[in-house]
């Protein structure tokens, strides 16, 4: 499992809003990480129930039953097992691209998540939510799935809010 004292990601302003980038080292090879991102019986343990059609334009559907959030999107970029992108949006909502990149590195792989958020949305909340889900992914890939870590979400949201305030 990756180090729990990992630094936060970065947030920067982009044309239409914000871009956050979170990177983790995982002690697992690219194929194991790719499976966590793309196989419904694996991503249910750290993200949500759903389906992912692994082709350009394929459906990307996730149902967060606890919060009522439903993602009904399309795969906008794919290059297995290195790249997967879809929008973190439902029909009629603004695009919020989520881009996963997986690369081999010594002792495992590097997972980079890049998300874009419209200017009128709370990028700190989005980044903190993804921080929590990455913690869930790190536990799930080790075979010990955990519930959404609200304490991690709250603490990293405050840290990201401070980061955004300096932009």
Per-residue pLDDT of the chain (167 residues; tens, 9 = 90+): 333 445 799 999 998 899 999 999 999 999 999 999 999 999 999 999 999 999 999 999 999 877 778 899 999 999 999 999 999 887 788 999 999 999 999 999 999 999 999 999 999 999 999 999 999 999 999 999 999 999 999 999 999 999 999 99
Topology (CATH) of 10-165: Alpha-D-Glucose-1,6-Bisphosphate; Chain A, domain 4 (3.30.530)
Residues belonging to the chain: 167
The answer to whether 45 touches 24, Cβ cutoff 8 Å, is no
CA–CA gap between residue 41 and residue 165 (Å, rounded): 39
Rounded CA gap, 163 and 124, in Å? Answer: 8
What is the distance between the alpha carbons of residues 130 and 148, in angstroms, rounded to a whole number? Answer: 10
pLDDT of residue 89: 85
Supply the pLDDT for residue 6.
59
Half-sphere exposure of residue 113, counting CA atoms within 13 Å on the CB side?
Answer: 26
């Amino acid at each position: 499992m990756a180090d729990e004292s990992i630094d936060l990601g970065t947030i920067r302003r982009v044309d239409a809003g914000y871009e956050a980038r979170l990177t983790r080292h995982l002690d697992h090879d690219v194929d194991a990480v790719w499976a966590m991102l793309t196989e419904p019986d694996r991503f249910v343990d750290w993200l949500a129930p759903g389906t992912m059609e692994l082709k350009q334009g394929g459906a990307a559907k996730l149902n967060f039953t606890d919060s009522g959030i439903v993602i009904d999107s399309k795969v906008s970029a794919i290059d297995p097992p290195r790249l997967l992108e879809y929008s973190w949006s439902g029909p009629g909502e603004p695009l919020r691209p989520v881009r996963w990149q997986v690369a081999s590195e010594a002792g495992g792989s590097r997972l980079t998540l890049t998300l874009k958020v419209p200017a009128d949305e709370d990028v700190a909340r989005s980044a903190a939510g993804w921080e929590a889900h990455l913690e869930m992914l790190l536990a799930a890939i080790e075979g010990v799935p955990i519930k959404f870590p609200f304490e991690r979400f709250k603490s990293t949201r405050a840290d990201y809010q401070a980061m955004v305030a300096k932009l």
